[in-house]
Amino acid sequence: SLCAAAEPNVSYQELKDLKKGNVLHIDVRERWEIDKFGKIPKSINIPLGELMEALQMDPTEFKEQYKQKMPSKSDPVVFSCLAGTRSKQALGFAMSLGFS
């Protein structure tokens, strides 16, 4: 299950369409889940337990750690996990930090 603020749930096809643009896809699964089930192409892995800290990092530090430009608070971001529970939490965390 995938979550985005404008549309709390997006389908796989909607995500594929969004990823043709400049949406940042953050996979909040644990690293062992990525190893076991595979990485989603063009996504970055930030486990849910690291997300609040990651979204408050200095942009240079974020880029060093995650090999990706840090999203601004107005950039389109989609969160995903295995079942949808953590991606909904991630969405709440991001919105609480001022992400739209």
Q: Does the active-site annotation cover 3? A: no
Residue 73 zone, left/alpha/beta (φ > 0; ψ -120 to 50; rest) = alpha
Which is the catalytic residue, given 23, 28, 70, 81? 81
| Residue 27, number of CB atoms within 10 A of its CB | 24
Specify the DSSP class assigned to residue 53: H
Residues labelled as active-site residues: 81
